[in-house]
């Protein structure tokens, strides 16, 4: 009976697929390849309406095997990819993109460029939304490669100009690359997404040709358009651009999206906030910065309220987080200067009875380090500050 046959066929297909999966997950590429040759038969009766049909499976599995198989080479890989492109219309662009990625990762930039150009000219019926996105990506990557060519020509030209002569042909070629790159890059960065390399390259092009307004607009858009994800790099790029443009510090800081306040208070706030994070916990630079600021404030006895304000929201957990006896021991063993800075801050914020301060200053005095003796004196002298902060 045909239905039974269909069922059996489906069953053996599934079994074959699970064998392949098993082999892939155990890095048995040869075994997987043998099973895949059997699985290819499933293409003959591809009635499936499943999410991923057999042709896509063969593409994915085959690619993975060819990446790792000991006897595969680039030629075979390219050949396989070409076959896969013709196997499914819906996936043509996706397969092209992946093919290009592989070529790029293997340093075959020119082949990749050719493939991108071919893919760009591909047309088949009406494009779906996904195909549209893929096409835009293909164009963007071509733009990126054009940018690299432009950059190469630019370097040649710069070298030549240093030597004192100009090459009109190279310059022409460079401008050509610029136009091609700019058109494609401009397109993709309009769509919400993470386009760090594309934006960087586009801004570089614009800056070279002196179009600073466009560059600023692009960067502003990339950083502040709410449809885009909150990408820290977007702000960094804008900041770097503004810095290159020699903008005032005010606008620089505003580029970093922080509200204005008095400079020093802002600094204190930022450094306290940074040290909240586990990633900054043992950052000696941050601690020395905080120690310096705290010391200044304590000596001048002005703006103690700033410290108090910051300390209020932290006094219940910073002692355990930063100033435990265990950490005192470890910091002392691993990084003496870090422990010095931390001990200073601990002594001011928690008083001279604090475990961290006591341990470090004791060890420092024992080791006869002058710095630590001074530290002890300083903290003892300014102990009333602690009372005012904690009160």
Partner 1 sequence: MEFPAALFPSYFGAGPPREEGSPAPVAGWGEHGQVLEGVPGRRQVQPAFVPRRGATGERWEAADAAAVPVLLPSAGCWIPSAKPQDILYRSSLCRNLRAGKSGATLDFAKQLGHFFVDHPEDAFGSMGRLLHKNFYLGNSKLKRPARNSTIRMTALMEDIDRLEARRGCPRQHLASRLRWFSHLCRDWLFEVPLGLLADCLHEELMQQWSNLLFDDSLTGGALAWLPPEDGGTPVGCLVHPGGQAMNHLYFQDVVLEELPRTRGSPAQFELSGRIQQVAAARVDGQDFVGVRSDYHCGVWRVPGKRGAAPTPLQVIRTDVPASCLTVSPHLPGELSVCTQSGTVYLWSVETGLQQLRHDPQTMFFRDHSPWRWSDFTGHPRVLSCADRTGLQCLDARAPKKCHFDLFKVGEEAGCQQGERVVLPMYLGRAHPSQYLVTTQFSMYVLDERLPLVPVLKWAHMMKAPPLFAHLMPGKPGRSHKVLLGASRTQELLLLQYWGKRSRGTQLACQLVGTPQKLHSIAGCLQHLPTQLPHRHHLLQQRLAAPAAGLTATLQEDGSHKSMLIFQLSEAGDVFCQRLTHNTAQCPATPLRDEEPCANPQPSPAVPSPAAAVRYRRWLRAFSRACREPPRHTWPPSLSQRRLFTRRDLEGPAGPSSLQKQMRQQLRQTMEEGGRIQHREPLALQPPPLPQTLEPAGDPDPLSARLTAAWAGDWEQWWEERTSFSVAQRQRALRERRRRQKRAQGRRSLSASFTSSLTYQSELSELSDTGPPLRSPSRPPILSQESSPPAGSPPVHSSATSAVPDEALLSSQNLRCHGIPKERRKTLRDYLSVWAEGPPEPPEPPGSQASQLCIPSSQSQLSSSQPRRKRPRMGF
Considering only residues 30 to 59 of the shown chain, the ones binding partner 1 according to CB under 8 A are 30, 50-52, 57, 59
User: Which one of the spans 12-20, 178-186, 340-348, 352-360 is the region binding partner 1 (CB under 8 A)?
Assistant: 12-20
Q: Which is nearer to partner 1, 152 or 212 (CB)?
A: 152
C-alpha separations of 278 from 107, 254, 321, 344 in Å: 39, 26, 9, 20
Q: 270 in helix, strand or coil?
A: helix
Site for partner 1 contains 73 (CB under 8 A): yes
Q: Is 303 in the site for partner 1 (CB under 8 A)?
A: no
Question: Cβ neighbours of residue 75 under 8 Å, at least 6 residues apart?
Answer: none
Phi, psi of 316 (to 5 degrees): -85, -15
C-beta separation of 335 from 286 below 8 A? no
Nearer to partner 1, 220 or 233 (CB): 233
The only residue of 195, 239, 323, 386 in contact with partner 1, by rule CB under 8 A: 195
Query: What kind and span of H or E run contains 92?
Result: helix 92-105
CA distances from 293 to 8, 122, 131, 183, 275 (A): 77, 62, 56, 50, 14
Closest approach, Cβ 34 to partner 1, in A, equals: 14
Q: Is 28 in the site for partner 1 (CB under 8 A)?
A: yes
Neighbouring residues of 73: CB distance < 8 A, sequence distance ≥ 6: none
Helix (H, G, I), strand (E, B) or coil at 320: helix
Question: Which stretch in 98-106, 253-261, 298-306, 382-390 sits in contact with partner 1 by CB under 8 A?
Answer: 98-106
Residue 161 in the binding site for partner 1 (CB under 8 A):
no
148 touches partner 1 (CB under 8 A) = yes
Among 61, 271, 344, 389, binds partner 1 (CB under 8 A): 61
In the complex, least distance from residue 227 CB atom to partner 1, rounded to whole angstroms? 8
Is residue 22 a contact point for partner 1 (CB under 8 A)? yes
Chain length of the chain: 391
The whole-angstrom separation of Cα 83 and Cα 288 is 62
Q: How many residues bind partner 1 (CB under 8 A)?
A: 75
As measured in angstroms, the least distance from the Cβ of 239 to partner 1 is 13
Two tokens, residue 212: 């600073």
Closest approach of Cβ 209 to partner 1, in Å? 18
Does position 317 interact with partner 1 (CB under 8 A)? The reply is: yes
Q: Is 327 in the site for partner 1 (CB under 8 A)?
A: yes
Which of 102, 142, 216, 376 forms a contact with partner 1 (CB under 8 A)? 102
Cα separation, 99 vs 365, in Å, equals 65
* 167 makes contact with partner 1 (CB under 8 A): no
Judged by CB, which is closer to partner 1: 102, or 376?
Answer: 102
* Alpha-carbon dihedral angle through residues 28, 31, 37, 41, given to the nearest 10 degrees: -100
The answer to whether the beta carbons of residues 330 and 352 sit under 8 Å apart is: no
- Gap between the Cα atoms of 355 and 343, Å rounded: 9
* Closer of 56 and 341 to partner 1 (Cβ): 56
Interatomic CA distance for residues 143 and 93, integer angstroms:
16
Q: Is 270 in the site for partner 1 (CB under 8 A)?
A: no
Return the number of the residue (133 or 362) whose C-beta is nearest partner 1. Answer: 133
Q: Which stretch binds partner 1 (CB under 8 A): 186-194, 298-306, 342-350, 383-391?
A: 186-194
Among residues 167 and 365, whose Cβ is nearest to partner 1? 167
Pull the structure tokens for residue 86: 């013709």
- Least Cβ distance, residue 115 to partner 1 (angstroms): 13
Scan residues 207-226 and list those touching partner 1 (CB under 8 A).
none
Q: Is 233 in the site for partner 1 (CB under 8 A)?
A: yes
- For residue 276, the minimal CB distance to partner 1 (Å) is 5
Contacting residues for 270 by C-beta, under 8 A, at least 6 apart:
258
Phi, psi of 341 (to 5 degrees): -60, -45
- By CB under 8 A, tell whether 321 contacts partner 1: yes
Pick from 1, 2, 3, 25 the residue near partner 1 by CB under 8 A: 25
Q: Which token pair is 300? A: 């001048």
> How big is the CA angle at 162 (ends 158 and 167), to the nearest 5 degrees?
60
């Amino acid at each position: 009976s045909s239905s039974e046959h269909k069922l059996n066929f489906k069953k053996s297909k599934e079994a074959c697929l699970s064998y392949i999966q098993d082999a892939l997950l155990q890095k048995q590429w040869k075994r997987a390849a043998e099973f895949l040759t059997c699985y290819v038969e499933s293409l003959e009766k591809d009635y499936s309406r499943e999410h991923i049909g057999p042709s896509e499976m063969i593409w994915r599995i085959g690619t993975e095997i060819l990446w790792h198989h000991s006897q595969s080479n680039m030629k075979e890989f390219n050949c396989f990819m070409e076959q896969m492109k013709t196997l499914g219309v819906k996936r043509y662009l996706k397969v092209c993109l992946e093919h290009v990625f592989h070529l790029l990762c293997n340093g075959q930039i020119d082949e990749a460029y050719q493939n991108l150009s071919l893919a760009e000219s591909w047309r088949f019926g009406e494009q779906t939304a996904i195909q549209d996105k893929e096409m835009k990506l293909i164009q963007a990557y071509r733009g990126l490669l054009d940018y690299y060519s432009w950059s190469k020509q630019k370097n040649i030209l710069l070298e030549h100009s240093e030597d004192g002569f100009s090459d009109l042909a190279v310059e022409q070629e460079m401008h050509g690359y610029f136009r091609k790159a700019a058109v494609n890059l401009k397109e993709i960065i309009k769509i919400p997404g993470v386009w760090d390399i594309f934006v960087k390259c586009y801004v570089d092009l614009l800056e070279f040709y002196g179009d600073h307004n466009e560059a600023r607009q692009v960067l502003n858009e990339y950083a502040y358009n709410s449809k885009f994800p909150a990408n820290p790099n977007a702000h960094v790029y804008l900041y770097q651009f503004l810095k290159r443009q020699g903008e005032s510090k005010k606008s620089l800081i505003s580029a970093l999206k922080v509200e204005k306040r008095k400079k020093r208070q802002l600094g204190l706030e930022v450094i306290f906030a940074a040290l909240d994070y586990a990633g900054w916990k043992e950052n000696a630079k941050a601690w020395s910065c905080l120690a310096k600021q705290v010391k200044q404030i304590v000596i001048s006895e002005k703006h103690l309220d700033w410290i108090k304000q910051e300390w209020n929201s932290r006094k219940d957990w910073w002692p355990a987080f930063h100033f435990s006896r265990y950490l005192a021991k470890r910091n002392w063993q691993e990084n003496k200067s870090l422990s010095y800075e931390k001990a200073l801050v601990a002594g001011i914020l928690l008083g001279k009875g604090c475990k961290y301060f006591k341990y470090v200053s004791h060890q420092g005095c024992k080791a006869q380090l002058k710095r630590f003796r001074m530290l002890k004196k300083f903290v003892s002298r300014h102990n009333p500050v602690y009372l005012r902060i904690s009160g």
